[in-house]
Structure 1
Amino acid sequence: MNRRHALRHIALISGGLALIPSCDFGKEDILAAYDKLQITPSLKKLLASISDTIIPAGEIKGALDLEVHDFILVMVNDCFNEENQKKFSQGLQSFSSYVKENSGKAFDQLTTKEKEAMVLETAQLKGDDSEEGRTKESIAYFVNTAKRFTIQGYMASEYIQTEVVPYSLIPGEYNGAVLISDLQKPRVNG
């Protein structure tokens, strides 16, 4: 190996090692798919928990199982104007601190009933012209938007449209002599 190449490699390695302490590895990365919203993985997890509180799993899959939180983020990122995106993001970021102030625990540490009560409470917040009032208004906007898109995304999911309430583009045949007790799953016609 050439001595010059060896010295060049040593210089590059030592320069790289000198820069490592200046790197900030503690900051959360912003998810690239939702670039307009500045969503971090922890905020995405919080939104998933909220959507799971709105439509929990039971006999059929819940919102978390169908990943409705991704639908919510895509809709807000792609379909909302800049002002509403900012309001949604501020509400999402302020939601966890509001829950912590009012319940003393993080949202994920609350029981199911406490989560439901907190979502209902935050959906009805009223704001005013003060800083705290604008924060409350953005939290209410965020929760109501998340609720609306959770329901929309859940009902439009492939699972609901194919397995729970089968979708049929063309109406079926009419048979007026069938007892109600003999009917199969309802078919939703487009």
Structure 2
Amino acid sequence: MNRREAIARVALLLGGTVVGGEAFAAGFQLNSNNQASTLFSAEDIKLLHEIGGIILPGLNGKPGAKDADIGAFMAMMVSDCYNPEQQKVFTTGLQKIKTDFKATYGKDFPQGNAPDQLEFLKKLDAGQRATPVPVKTGRRDYLNTDGPPVHYFLMMRQLTILGFCTSEIGATKALRYVEAPGRYDGNVPYKKGEGAWAI
């Protein structure tokens, strides 16, 4: 199974709740040409990489989002699978992170110290949790890419988790993975400290 198939399956499993997941679930690309080079600079991708690494850090010798090249994944997903309104929310939010962090701490986000970066992202997370998320009731609603976009930091969190869990390193090093699991067994023993199962 390649990464694209894995993302499609995760999007279906989650009911299409990941922004842009509806495009993968339906098996199409919203934007036929790759716009990553026009939407995101190398500096933007580096910033997304740092943000993803804080959202999902490596712990106890297990890999984190940075190990899955999360910045490039986010740029690809936003470029290929987000509609123009969602892209605008995401890219505007990314610029806001740059300016707000620099105004608050006097340096660019990637050069900031870890406690300041974490505190800043925690405040963003609290703000996005206070923002209402549009409710979608059925599969057709999820396949419809129209409607109000969600908060940009929620998009970043979703893409970080999706990108990491569907990457080779995430599925095989952080999660437990069996390429051909065979029969369904709903009662597999669990030992404390084992990772969750990858799809």
TM-score after normalising by structure 2? 0.60
Between the aligned partners of 2:97 and 2:189, the Cα distance in structure 1 is 50
More helix by share: 1
Which residue identity does 2:181 align to in structure 1? I
CA RMSD of aligned residues (A): 3.3
Unaligned runs of 5+ in 1: 1-31, 128-137
3-state secondary structure, aligned to 1:167: coil
Partner of 2:102: 100
Partner of 1:75: 77
CA contact (8 A) 2:165 2:171 kept: yes
Partner of 1:65: 67
Question: How far did 1:152 drift?
Answer: 1.1
Which of 153, 156, 170 is the aligned partner of 2:163? 153
Percent identical across equivalent pairs? 24
- Number of residue pairs aligned between Structure 1 and Structure 2: 144
Between the aligned partners of 1:179 and 1:47, the Cα distance in structure 2 is 37
Question: How far did 1:90 drift?
Answer: 1.0
Which residue identity does 1:44 align to in structure 2? I
CA contact (8 A) 1:171 1:189 kept: no
Between the aligned partners of 2:65 and 2:81, the Cα distance in structure 1 is 21
Change in 2 beyond 3 A, CA 1:102/1:67: same
Which of 105, 112, 115 is the aligned partner of 1:113? 115
CA contact (8 A) 1:160 1:166 kept: no
Question: How far did 1:179 drift?
Answer: 8.1
Q: Which has the higher contact order (CA 8 A, sep 6+)?
A: 2
Change in 2 beyond 3 A, CA 1:186/1:84: closer
Between the aligned partners of 1:161 and 1:148, the Cα distance in structure 2 is 16
3-state secondary structure, aligned to 2:127: coil
Question: How far did 1:108 drift?
Answer: 2.0
Give the 5 Å matches for 1:49-64.
49-58=50-59, 59-64=61-66
CA contact (8 A) 1:63 1:154 kept: yes
Partner of 1:165: 175
Which residue identity does 1:73 align to in structure 2? A
Q: Does 1:188 align with 2:189?
A: no
Higher mean alpha-carbon deviation, 77-86 vs 58-67, is at 58-67
Between the aligned partners of 1:159 and 1:45, the Cα distance in structure 2 is 19
TM-score after normalising by structure 1? 0.62
Question: How far did 1:34 drift?
Answer: 0.6
CA contact (8 A) 2:63 2:174 kept: no
Unaligned runs of 5+ in 2: 1-33, 131-148
Q: Does 1:40 align with 2:79?
A: no
Question: How far did 1:98 drift?
Answer: 0.7
